[in-house]
Amino acid sequence: MEESKEQPDRERVLLELHYLPCLEYFALLRQCSEVILQDGETFQKQSYRNRCYLRGPNKVQILSVPVSGNTRRSNIKEVTINYAEKWHLEHIQSLRSAYGKAPYFEYYFEYFEQILLKKNKFLWDLNRDILTLCLDLLNFDIKISESSDTPVDLKEVDNRYYGLINRKTSFLDRNIYQEVGYQQLFGNNFVPNISIIDLLFCEGPNAMSIIGQSTIRCF
């Protein structure tokens, strides 16, 4: 199923980087001509910046990327990843366990595995690599750039969504993404707005169409 060629007016938007972002993140990106990643922000603990949610065999599963040192006032580009407990191998195994029998697992898994095995030193680089891959797999037509300027200093850039997509509040509290069901691998109840990797492994080429249906026009 091909996405309609008719596109809404598209905007330049300021956002932060997430780890294996949720569907709401991509519903927003779908409406953008350019996303400017804020590389001057201070790292926020227990946020989407280093965690994501999957549909596991028994429950919704959290994957978290451990970081090193005291990150209380650390610039996001300076946050280093801690590989002491080999979390990257655990995440790879979690993806296998959760999606090994998904229809499109074999088509996409290797790309994500290669990024995790790369063992990026910095969280920023890991998230940037994952976002670039996801946009490529989804055939997104969007420009990605970076800026250390504050939201106030960036002219002609929509910054109202910067930091808005966060795990402490529900997507229902915002006006970006609406639940559109698809066939998930486990359970009888659909779990909305989890990691994009769930949609890719379960729906493959149809993923972009579902993102389109899930998008609430917000510009």
In the predicted model, is pLDDT for residue 99 greater than 80?
A: yes
Bridge-based pairing state of the strands 51-55 and 11-15:
unpaired
69's tokens: 């040192």
Give the DSSP letter of residue 216. Answer: P
Rounded to an integer, the average pLDDT of 27-48 is: 93
> Which is more confident, 219 or 49?
49
pLDDT category, 88, cuts 50, 70, 90? very high
Return the pLDDT at 173.
Answer: 95
Rounded to an integer, the average pLDDT of 19-24 is: 98
Residue 10 to residues 35, 138, 169, 197: CA-CA distances in angstroms?
11, 17, 26, 25
Return the pLDDT at 189.
Answer: 92
pLDDT tens-digit profile of 42-77? 999 889 999 999 998 888 999 999 999 888 788 999
- Per mean pLDDT, which range of 66-70, 100-104, 137-141 is the poorest? 66-70
Q: How many residues does the chain have?
A: 219
Alpha helix locations (H) across the chain? 23-29, 87-99, 105-118, 123-137, 196-203, 207-214
SS3 state at 29: helix
Return the pLDDT at 151.
Answer: 72
pLDDT category, 2, cuts 50, 70, 90? very low
Enumerate residues 6+ apart whose C-beta is below 8 A from 168: none
Return the pLDDT at 195.
Answer: 98
Return the pLDDT at 219.
Answer: 75
Q: Residue 174 in contact with residue 24, Cβ under 8 Å? A: yes
In the predicted model, is pLDDT for residue 95 greater than 90?
A: yes
83's tokens: 């590989």
pLDDT category, 4, cuts 50, 70, 90? very low
Cβ atoms within 10 A of the Cβ of 95, count? 23
SS3 state at 36: strand
The rounded distance, in Å, linking the Cα atoms of 102 and 137 is 16
Rounded to an integer, the average pLDDT of 7-31 is: 90
CA neighbours closer than 13 Å in the CB half-sphere of residue 39: 15
Rounded to an integer, the average pLDDT of 73-92 is: 95
Rounded to an integer, the average pLDDT of 118-135 is: 98
pLDDT category, 9, cuts 50, 70, 90? low
Return the pLDDT at 19.
Answer: 98
Nearest by Cα to 15 from 44, 45, 37: 37
The rounded distance, in Å, linking the Cα atoms of 34 and 79 is 25
> Which is more confident, 217 or 120?
120
Residue 64: left if φ>0, alpha if ψ -120 to 50, beta else—which one? beta
